[in-house]
Structure 1
Amino acid sequence: MDRALELAAGGPAHGPNPRVGAVLLAPDGRTLGEGRHEGAGTPHAEAAAVATARAAGEDLRGATAVVTLEPCAHTGRTSPCAALLIEHGIARVVHAVDDPNPAAAGGGAALRAAGVDVVGGVREDAGEALLRVWLHAVRTGRPFVTLKLATTLDGRVAAADGSSRWITSDEARAHAHALRGEVDAIAVGTGTVLADDPALTARTADGDLAAHQPLRVVVGSTPVPDGARLRGPGGPLVVEPTRDLAAVLARLAEREVRHLLVEGGPTLAAAFLRVGLVDEVHAYLAPVLLGAGPAAVADLGIASIDDAFRLRPRSLRVLGPDVLLVADVRHPLDDRPAPHDQAAPQHQPVPQHQPVPHHQRTPHEES
């Protein structure tokens, strides 16, 4: 299972499908074949492993399939993996995580009905951690939302004159571009578009456009200027002229967006936080002091420290002179454990949505 998880982690993080790895073992423990899912429209991990084994002339009758996610029982872009394993005489299937997708679930039951020995929950915590974004999107029906902040030590995203390039270092910006390459969509407010004219592209270390470009989402009623960089090379542009963030996420889910990165500005960040629609924060912190200038997050309506948003740090990383803190968000009205602390999170209803103020023209550091 460790090897299957390693294979899965090498697959693309973006896209509507989960990252899955599979290893086929002979009765004596010898590896017959391996595979992983390379994205929508490509063979699933089980099919890739079977193809590898067959190409090597291996007999799969009586073999064990070790898979990070329960084999699917759904015919979509590809055929059901459960049926494929049955067809090739697999005797035992071991998986880490049950498939929560109602359109694809039932593979374990189909395998058992065919006489296959099925064991679930092996390295389940590791499987849940690997698939946390995809699992959240499937279980809740909305994209997993990461809020990105890039600030000075005193929480500023720009100086008093509006200048913001560059607060963070080359290393931090390179990491942020790598993150963009892993998400399905990036969102900013219209104020950031007007003040900063961002391109919202994912770029390689050489400055070239990455192979995968996320959807570029602008939230707000102010039109995107005809000459804006958002209309240039990069991912498709989607304009959401609304203050209803739940509706925005619902429409993105219809586009098969599983992971949304919210990049700016302070008003949009506060709006997502106020309605409980942020799942994690990536905070790039530079050892810089300004003493004045716009804060990273606008007014949240919090009057007491008791009502503060409490984050649960998950990792801390040094990037050149800067520090990246990755933390799970706990909403003041939400007492559920953080997703990585449990095998099958029980998601509570999102608090009542509040109107989102007009977006400020606050510069955003990352373009």
Structure 2
Amino acid sequence: MSTPSRSTPMDLAAAAAMRGVRGANPLVGAVLTAPDGAVLAVGHHRGRGTAHAEVDAIARWEAARAADPGLAALDTAAFDPADLTLHVTLEPCDHTGTTGPCSEAVLRAGFGALRYAVADPTGDDGGGAARLSRHGVRVEGPTGEAAAVALTARWRAVRAAGRPWVTAHLAQSLDGNAAAADGTSRWITGEASRHHAHEVRARVDAIVVGTGTVLADDPRLTARAADGAAAARQPVPVVQGRRRIPADAALHAAHPVVLQTGERDPHDVLAAIAAHPGPWPHGRRAEHVLVEGGPHVLGAWFSAGLVDEVMAYTAPLLLGAGLPAVAGLDVGTLADGIRLVPDPAEGGPVKALGEDVWTHLMPAP
């Protein structure tokens, strides 16, 4: 059951966290170790609504014990919770949201020690370390390991700004076009890309497009499974722009709530989203926004510095004098370009989706 490793437990926790998805919740990993440092369990958070990393590690440890209880006779320490240490990249939460508080789960497990790398900055969610300490757990942290700090740097900045996480969606040809010169765009990317894009839609609270997209394509903007069935939770469509949406638009038939704002500045769009009472699919406020365009909408969000991650779906197709996927950027020289860096989270930064290529990027720090 014990597995030696040259990496530190926090390194392993950070690597495990990268298997998760970015969004409203942070990437978090957890590793449980025995007194001799042997790794007993590794857990990670898979996204909003799923078990947190601490709970995942506890479940894996308990499953291993249940699968082979005879190991207790060979390695008693590995099954004495008070002698074990839980290493977590982010301070355990101490509140009840879509899941219960991780601090309570750690106390129930009976672990004797906790090490965490980064303090939870969000007020209501934080405080888990203090609670554990009050109940006799030996707590060390924040320890500040670089790999763990880097995991949540952008997420912490977004939380500090008090705004939702913003994902930009680009579906484009190899030469960077979202449509051919005559405006035809359905479908540039293949079925596998569209299926992945619908999985992302199901994670978010709001999906932003411009009035131009609504008038040209009449989209439903729903999240659907591979078989075409509607996902359990649907994003709220947000249409930015001043042109009127027709009463018979597909959006109205597909969604009980459609938010249209005459604002074009992305900061004002976020303010309108924050002021809207919902209902939001994942809670009392919008914490994850997906921007799907068109090109001038995407350009405005990039220019405003509000894009936290980019998911680009690129088809093996050349369109020549087509319509660009992103437009309106005020870039006159190479040095003024908006720099992005590969994001290894969620199986990225590059993977094949059928014939297409999915690229996962974040703004350069």
* Residue of structure 1 equivalent to 2:241: 220
Using the alignment, how far apart are the partners of 2:29 and 2:303 within structure 1? 37
Residue 294 of structure 2 contacts residue 325 of structure 2 at CA under 8 Å; is this kept in 1? yes
Alpha-carbon shift at residue 140 of structure 1 (Å): 2.6
Query: Which one-letter code corresponds to 1:109 in the other structure?
Result: A
**Is 1:325 the counterpart of 2:359 in the alignment?**
yes
Aligned counterpart for 2:310 among listed residues 264, 281, 288: 281
Deviation at 1:217, TM superposition (A): 1.6
Shift of 1:162: 1.7
Q: 2:188 aligns with which of 153, 167, 174?
A: 167
- Residue matched to 2:220: 199
Deviation at 1:292, TM superposition (A): 2.3
The match for 1:300 is: 329
Structure ranking higher in helix proportion: 2
- Aligned counterparts of 1:82 and 1:157: Cα–Cα separation in 2: 47
> Aligned partner of 1:265: which letter?
G
Could you tell me how far apart the structure 1 residues matched to 2:306 and 2:47 are? 29
CA shift at 1:198, angstroms? 1.0
Distance 2:177 2:44 in 1: 46
Number of aligned pairs? Answer: 329
Cα distance 1:35–1:149, how it changes in 2: closer, same or farther (>3 A)? closer
- Mapped partners of 1:124, 1:236: distance in 2: 44
Distance 2:356 2:308 in 1: 23
The yes-or-no answer on 1:185 pairing with 2:219 is no
2:297 is aligned to 268
Residue ranges of structure 1 left out of the alignment (5+ in a row) = 331-337, 339-367
Q: Tell me, yes or no, if the aligned pair for 1:62 and 1:89 is still in contact at 8 Å.
A: no
Q: Kindly tell me: are residues 67 and 306 of structure 1, through their superposed partners in 2, closer, same or farther at Cα, counting changes over 3 Å?
A: closer
> Counterpart amino acid of 1:327?
L
Identify the residue that residue 229 of structure 2 maps to in structure 1: 208
Determine what percentage of the aligned residue pairs are the same residue. Answer: 46
For residues 1-44 of structure 1, the C-alpha deviation after alignment (integer angstroms, 9 at most, x for no partner) is 57867886787866x5556565666668695998968855x886
- Equivalent position SS for 1:168: coil
In 2, the alpha carbon distance for the partners of 1:261 and 1:35 equals 24
User: More displaced, 169-178 or 1-10?
Assistant: 1-10
Give the Cα separation in 2 of the matches to 1:222 and 1:248: 15
Matches within 5 A, 1:313-352: 313-314=342-343, 315-330=349-364, 338=365
Q: CA deviation at 1:197?
A: 0.7
The verdict on how the C-alpha distance between 1:31 and 1:298 changes in structure 2, with shifts beyond 3 A counting, is: closer
Contact 1:133 1:258 in 2 (8 A): no
Give SS of 2:200's match.
helix
In structure 2, the CA distance between the partners of 1:259 and 1:128, relative to structure 1 (3 Å rule), is farther
* Cα shift at 1:100: 1.5
Counterpart secondary structure, 1:198: coil
Task: Check if 1:119 corresponds to 2:148.
Answer: no
What TM-score does the superposition give when structure 2 sets the normalisation length? 0.72
Which of these residues, 161, 165, 172, is aligned with residue 140 of structure 1? 161
Q: Normalized against structure 1, the TM-score is what?
A: 0.71
Q: What is the deviation of 1:193?
A: 0.6
CA RMSD of superposed structures (Å):
3.9
* Structure 1 residue 189: Cα displacement: 0.6
Cα distance in structure 1, aligned partners of 2:361 and 2:308: 9
Contact 1:133–1:144 (CA under 8 A) maintained in structure 2:
no
Shift of 1:74: 4.3
